[in-house]
Structure 1
Amino acid sequence: MSKLAKKDGRNWLLYLLYVRNEPEECLRLIEEILKETNDRNDFASYIKGLILRSRGQIPQSLDLFRWSQKLNPFSVEMVKQVGRCLYLQGRTKASIEVYEEALKLCPDDWEIYHFKGLCHTNRNEIEDAMDSFRAANLIQKHDATFMQLGEVYARKEDYKSAIDTYLEALEFSPENPELLTTLGLLYLRLSENLKAFQYLGNALTLDATNQKALLATGSIIQDRSDHDAALLKYRIIAAHNPNSAQLWNNIGMCFFGKSKNVAAIACLKKAQYLDPFEWIIAYNLGIVHLSTQQYASSFHYFNAAISLNPYFATSYMYLAMALSSLGDIENACNAYEKALSMEEDFLIFLNYSLTLCNYGRKERAVQMYMKFQEIFDKLDAASKELDQDVQEKRRLLSKALGVQ
């Protein structure tokens, strides 16, 4: 406090009111002090800037920090607060310049490097961001810096380095549920469900109501078709965050897995109401309506999902299935071709062949079936036995087309 303040007998009281979170009384005292000192108490201006920034009044707080900096030009704290305000305004280039100025005053402050790294991250200057976060950690290790550095590695799709960063962070802070959850989610993204489950479970041991960990754990359990156990996890989240679109999406698909289609649609529509621009919700609504033979509704939802995310090949496959069920074979074929142009998946070839066979286009159906067979034969035995529906379709098509 003494580094920031000009001598005033009430600075201690000002500081006490601020840390006790009594902003109104604090502001009253600040105005009194500033009036008496003709606005020349840098500490009072500094505290007022912090209060205004916490209320979202960024431009006003920036003016106060700049004035405090003029009153106390050798205070690195003032310079850091100016940089922070510029960052919050989205003026990241100016913020970086201010943090460079702060480093001249204090070259071994981890916070300066950390926030400089945040600025570079927002500007998508990945290498500079990593250099700043590494420099921050060399000075002083902080969970927040490890989290940001891991996030930058993940953005680069360097998942091994991201995992190594989070594991190093856990050595420093082994009981941080946020770190454990983030690491679990990263393993889940890499389809290493066993490791994901382990770290998410550790996170829940430390924080039983951690919503991210509960949602991810529920998803893993749901993938194993244990829908009742997954719903128990989701019930805990619903008690704390009932307006989560992802939660209701997952609940909806649990009910779908239990063949409770009316409940599934109700939950998915609630999820869509909460987040109308989330493509996976529209996609799942399409799946449920397709399974209940509501083909027009299914077409509508798959079309919406594609509008929101045109890069998911399976959406085009299911759109084609809805179109073929509505009798529009030409557009169905176009949708299948679009799906195959994005990904040559055995399931797309199989359904394409089935649609062509149903419409009497046997020659083209045989071509698609042979391509399906070529990819399917390369799968391991466990994958082949995984989906009985695929095996049944394969058997029926093989018999209908007269091929092995």
Structure 2
Amino acid sequence: MKKILFIISIIFSITLQGQTDIKYHEIDSLIESNSMINSMNAIKKLKEDFAKDSISSNYWLRYSKASFVFFRYEDASSGIDKAIKLSPNDSELYFEKGMLNNKIDKLEIALQAFEKATDIKKKGEYFYWKGIVNQRLRRMQSAENDYQTAIEYKFESSQLFNNFAILLSESGKNEKALVMINKAINLDNKYPEAYSARAKINFALLNFDLACKDGKNAIKLGHRNPFQVPDSICNGTLNQKLQYASDVFVVNKLYKQGIIAYTMLINNKAAKSDNFLNRGYCYFQIKEYVNAEKDYLKALSLPEAVIDQIYDNLSLLYFDMNNFEKSIQYSTKRIELNPKNHVPYIDRGLCYRKLKNYENAEKDFNKSLELKPDFFRAFGYRSFLFLELGQYQKSLEDAGKSIKINPQYGYGYIVLAQAKQQIGISDFCEDYYNAKKYGEPDAEKGIKEYCK
């Protein structure tokens, strides 16, 4: 008996839904035309012919959709919220709210709506769109989980696999990305964006011939700005391809791929100083300091070495390794090569400050400013030196000079805030907020401790 009642209830629900679809057929057609005039007429018909249905979520759903096409985004948002209030357990309404807010770039609201939809009903399409929003918010692991869940719930499309492949490639998972992009192309072999994405993935995997072929296919299919390897490289030698790829990886901060490409170059009779220098730089960026040191020193020993650049890299490397004596050694070598270069003086001055050799630190900062009086970083670093020495007025003045020269110098603002605190000037929080605005990583700590 219970089974019979359950079946009857399903049939009744389907019948009601069918009746609703028929009832709103004309209005739905007007909305789906994506015409402003038709959408305005849809709203008019809702108000005139279906006013009694304003207690129904179906009414407000269509009102929301028509308002969106008519660029009345506030009405669209309030309409979908009214629909949800009337039918709070309808997953499709939360899905529509997510779609609306994704379109108008209110991504956090969209994400919350999609999360509510997936809580109510595990549907692949819901997870797919939640993944899109997470990807737009650069929440890569969450997006990856969403796309994988969408596939597990039997939702598949060329767009899903394309998006998933791009996401995986950006996370360095190129082998898995290749599997996904192949699925996208298998579903739609005339999808230009997928060929462009596959060209980029193959390039990252050093599959140069395939990357060249896919780039050309993307153009043939109408992609206006595809990822494309220049013909001169496609037609070049393996070493020319590797050299091009290596440099592209470094420019785009793909350091692990850069290491692979430079290693292949070096092993393929291209053991030039520049290649060791650049591979060392890649190791430095991923904090593999021992390998970076080996490569820098090897680069220094080879013909046509760019000595000043290698000394600079070694100085920065040893500074990061807290080996300040060695960092001073290579900063000094740079100064000996070119005493008129203002930069190595602040590098050496920073090391002296770390070693609490304040007199020599101040001399180096002063020398840097003597050579380049508008060098804001020298003012910023000397300002912190004065702060450490308890010379707060001098620190305040130097920090002020640094941001006057460069109003977007985050470090200058954070030192200015600290100097003001020591002197007793009350508006220091403004400087902490400016430091945060301009990318100073330590600003948040000051804001949490002093400005809340």
Return the index of the structure with the highest Cα Rg. 2
Tell me the TM-score normalized by structure 1.
Answer: 0.49
Greater relative CO, 1 or 2 (CA 8 Å, sep 6+): 1
TM-score when normalising by structure 2: 0.44
